[in-house]
Amino acid sequence: MTIEPVTTSEAKIEPGGIGFFEKWLSVWVALCIAAGIILGNLTPGVFETLAGLEYASVNLVVAILIWAMVYPMMVNVDFSSLRHIGDRPKGLLITLAVNWLVKPFTMAALGVLFFEVLFADLVAPKDAVEYIGGLILLGAAPCTAMVFVWSQLTRGDATYTLVQVSVNDIIMIFAFAPIVALLLGVTDIAVPWETLLLSVGLYVVIPLVAGYLTRRSLVGHAGRTSDGNQAVARFVSAIKPFSILGLLATVVLLFGFQGATIIERPLVIALIAAPLLIQSYGIFAVAYAAAWLWRVPFNVAAPCALIGTSNFFELAVAVAISVFGLESGAALATVVGVLVEVPVMLSLVAFANRTRGYFPASEPS
């Protein structure tokens, strides 16, 4: 994949572009999966102790790690960008339609198709239900952080990307729990409303408020808007390693809890990855084709298609653990989503850059 130069205005989206850890995130995740499986089988007592550190269905260790992952991305969200909500209406409409009217329901349908029909003889009914639950959680959580990276790699419109992330975060506060509850109910999974609402509060509302207050403080102390943006960029760059470490530590924990199960059934990762791959490429095709048919400029079309394809896997992991448990198939499915996502997204970024010429350079008059 050829990464084209990024202009100064675009560089503000994600300081430093795609970093070393982000570029090879799937490799680090794979290594952590291996480490988790090995440690889980060698030291099961340690993981049992960690699993017991919970309160109100929330594992305290995982909660800290999830906050470490989510907080830096929330600092990146600039709600002042909402004043530009009408500047790129076509792209935003496609983003919202795909994220909230298409993606959650197609992911649930694929989960049912694969685990209740195609793979019915390969997995136990209880495991199938949990895998479907994990897929539903991934499908209902549109990307918040990595979309900044994907947008930059396609030279996407910086303001538009900030607008779509900000709007999706606001919608997520109100829509995530009801959509997940609806789809879990349709698939005959008991709906734990209290846990869902608690998870939204813990992993969306609190980090979002903390990120907003941090951003306002940084911009306020800097004085000028340009200096404030640079201060935010420096701050996010400084704390970004904690986000990556939080993700990798969570992967080690989850696969440590699942270590014995995976050794017994090594094909389970591939089974979970199959519907995720179809969903990812299918959702991108729908959004990208809609943008092409509607003559959306490329610098808006690319990020509007990529945000629907990518997932807010941090939220999905946290809710899966709260609802189904640390050792559940749902938690495993959400982590497989991390493993699948990065190589898939990089391949779609490369495809988008190769097809740039099929889109207008600006809004048609």
In the prediction, which pLDDT does 24 show? Answer: 73
In the prediction, which pLDDT does 11 show? Answer: 37
pLDDT digit string, tens, across residues 320-351:
888 888 778 898 898 888 778 878 988 999 99
84/342 Cα distance (integer angstroms): 29
In the prediction, which pLDDT does 313 show? Answer: 78
3-state DSSP helix/strand/coil % of the chain, to nearest 5: 80, 0, 20
Domain boundaries, the chain: 8-357
In the prediction, which pLDDT does 353 show? Answer: 92
In the prediction, which pLDDT does 8 show? Answer: 34
In the prediction, which pLDDT does 15 show? Answer: 40
* Two structure tokens written together for 347: 């391949």
List of the chain residues with pLDDT < 50: 1-17, 365
Residue type, 59: N
54-55 and 58-59 strand pairing: antiparallel
* Two structure tokens written together for 33: 């999966």
Residues 323/328/333/334 CA torsion (nearest 10 deg): 40
Query: Which DSSP string do the residues of 187-226 spell out, in sequence order?
Result: TT----HHHHHHHHIIIIIHHHHHHHHHHHHHHHHH-SHH
In the prediction, which pLDDT does 21 show? Answer: 65
Spatial neighbors of 297 by CB under 8 A, at least 6 apart, are 157, 359, 360, 361, 362, 363
In the prediction, which pLDDT does 1 show? Answer: 36
Give the bridge partners for 58, in sequence order: 55
What DSSP designation does 297 have?
A: -
In the prediction, which pLDDT does 45 show? Answer: 87
In the prediction, which pLDDT does 69 show? Answer: 77
Instruction: Domain 8-357: state its class.
Output: mainly alpha
Please count the other Cβ atoms lying within 10 Å of the Cβ belonging to residue 60: 12
